[in-house]
Chains A and B, each alone.
Chain A
């Protein structure tokens, strides 16, 4: 019975596990990819994973604060994307490539 109930009854745990998996995917992207823009996208993936947790908690706890937090996270994420892309553009203008290794030397 346990096995079927895991598949048919969706609880908070399901959402949390989904969130954890997505977060790990984003983290793997941050650690492994070399393209700066893909890194930024991986960060967005992690933020989205966290958002899922927030909304899931908000739903299952019956408190709206989680959704407000998601709202804030979205705004910050948009801002972060804007700055990150601006950085990427300036890096691209200089090196004609957006590899993370151009950030290793923080001079010039």
Chain B
């Protein structure tokens, strides 16, 4: 068995090496070499992740922790940060998801990007992203995590703006970057507060130092710090109010959307909160904010998703909505459920994005679902795997999404910090999800073909369909490791592996033991209700878009004002522009003109003029005659030497 330090080093350095290899030869347009290098690099990482996970399983549950510190990164007074990395229950799962899904998406990209000129650059960025994401999840202190946090932000920016010759796409990249900066600033503030409070940034030590007493004040240090961290998370994970960048981020290549903007990077916020759950749990106000924001995002994004016609935009809003679910889960203290949904979502959302990529590829870069329809017979494999993803996301048992979403909804209701309103919001979100996802399926794959005569849709090659099939399989079975107790007992004592696995690192809510697990009947009822709502919603959508294709237009006319609001995404972007960005720009302009140009510049010019006046006296000495320069040296030596000797 390999040493875990070596394995972690291989895990981290293999994508970095891939990045260097592809980065050095970035002008090459040979997609096979670039793709092979990048995929093999991530594949090696995946293998070492699996080996690490196996080592982790062999350890006893109390000390499942493989830590390594390569060198001391910085030591400033109390602040001591090592380049240390930890594989524990949470990060172990994350590295499996990142490298596993990452490998599949690299493989998919080989087929998807083969016609692109910058393919080597693309793979270099992708490998760099994997490296940074691994740093993020493995870092043993908040600062190390922040390095990865910024690194993935950079890669996201580079990949969104990958086709930067299109100014709209370049602008989308900048929007993502700047929006993330706002969140990152808050993240840094949160780190400051936590460091001032606890005197360390090491996650393990922080979790150990977390106070036992719940902090009820809004202005307590822990509450403020966690709120700041949460704002950071809203930036990275696209929550209200900073979600606006994610739909625009679909400007990047589709595999990037699948990897970064669905499966891994955007879940970093959830992951961070789960890592720090002992800290968050003592700040109930923060938790409440998280839950409310999560629920609101879930519903809001889902409603916007109803009206979109771009296949990737629909999926993007769906991602925002599903991330809202995860935050809802962590907000009510169901950290395990949040992580569970993170994993299943990684599977089925990556699958759907890749499926949409396959569709776009087969349709020759067409993304508008109004120009699709009836693609079922042209691309059977894509359709079938997409179907699996659809079933998973709308929560039909026994697909993966059912178990995770149901657990979130149940805990939103039953947890001590839960509320029936949160459940209601979640259920509404689930119904909307079922509706727009069915609409997407119907408009894309089913019904009559609206494909342009000139376009001939075709099924994609093997490099693209194999990842689809693997992810499709995972979308079915991925949820089976976390079957809730009620169903598990009914089916014959299938244990909830997921809960057992995470138990040592997840803190329970202080008063949660009393209520959980006694109301099995309520749980069954709520489960049934949510499935029922989703099914009704899905059937309605099917009726509207497949059975009676014209009916949607009628409904649209009937509720025109509401439709307009939703179709324009609640004018959030416009509001940001008119209330925040434009005033800021105006202020900056006036500052520039009155302060900078008229005051500071004039001052500096005066100083410069004085310096020039002084220089004109001294420039006689600097006449370019080297021998005079040598003479100055000689005179200087004489002066210094005589001073030394006379003393």
Contacts and interface: CB of A to CB of B under 8 A. Distances in A.
Given A30-B630, A31-B630, 9 more contacts: A31-B627, A31-B631, A100-B626, A100-B627, A103-B626, A104-B624, A104-B626, A105-B624, A106-B624
A101 B625 contact: yes
Contacts of B521: none
Specify which of B625, B627, B634 lies most central, judged by the most chain A CB atoms within 10 Å of its CB.
B627
Interface string A15-54: 0000000000001001110000000000000000000000
Interface in B588-647: 623-627, 630-631, 634
8 contacts: A27-B634, A30-B627, A31-B631, A32-B627, A100-B627, A104-B626, A105-B624, A106-B624
A105 B624 CA distance: 7
A103 B626 CA distance: 8
**Chain B contact residues, majority secondary structure:** helix
A30 B625 CA distance: 12
Contacts of B631: 31
Contacts of B630: 30-31
Interface string A87-106: 00000000000001101111
A103 B630 CA distance: 14
B634 A31 contact: yes
Nearest to A24: B634
Interface in A58-108: 100-101, 103-106
A30 to B, nearest CB: 6
6 closest Cβ contacts across the A-B interface?
A104-B624, A30-B630, A31-B631, A31-B627, A31-B630, A104-B625
**Chain A contact residues, majority secondary structure:** helix
Contacts of A103: 624, 626
Nearest to A32: B627
A103 B624 CA distance: 8
B623 to A, nearest CB: 7
A106 B624 CA distance: 8
Contacts of B626: 100, 103-104
A32 B628 CA distance: 10
Nearest to A104: B624
Contacts of A27: 634
Nearest to B627: A31
B638 to A, nearest CB: 11
A29 to B, nearest CB: 10
Contacts of B627: 30-32, 100
Interface in B235-286: none
Interface string B138-182: 000000000000000000000000000000000000000000000
Contacts of A106: 624
Interface in B23-58: none
A73 B321 CA distance: 73
B637 to A, nearest CB: 9
Contacts of A32: 627
A30 B633 CA distance: 12
Nearest to A39: B627
A32 B631 CA distance: 9
B354 to A, nearest CB: 60
Contacts of B623: 104
A100 to B, nearest CB: 6
A62 to B, nearest CB: 28
Interface string B565-576: 000000000000
Nearest to B623: A104
Nearest to B625: A104
A105 B626 CA distance: 11
Contacts of A105: 624
A101 B631 CA distance: 15
Nearest to A34: B627
A104 B630 CA distance: 13
Nearest to A30: B630
A15 B309 CA distance: 93
B239 to A, nearest CB: 60
B136 to A, nearest CB: 50
B527 to A, nearest CB: 83
A105 B630 CA distance: 17
A86 B631 CA distance: 25
A31 B623 CA distance: 15
Contacts of B625: 100-101, 104
B79 to A, nearest CB: 44
A27 B637 CA distance: 12
A106 B626 CA distance: 11
B541 to A, nearest CB: 76
A32 B634 CA distance: 12
A20 B630 CA distance: 18
A104 B626 CA distance: 7
Contacts of B624: 103-106
B272 to A, nearest CB: 56
B515 to A, nearest CB: 82
B288 to A, nearest CB: 70
A32 B623 CA distance: 16
Nearest to A36: B626
A100 B628 CA distance: 11
B640 to A, nearest CB: 15
Interface string B293-327: 00000000000000000000000000000000000
B642 to A, nearest CB: 15
A83 to B, nearest CB: 15
A100 B631 CA distance: 14
A19 B627 CA distance: 22
B619 to A, nearest CB: 14
A38 B368 CA distance: 81
Contacts of B634: 27, 31
A62 B623 CA distance: 47
A96 to B, nearest CB: 20
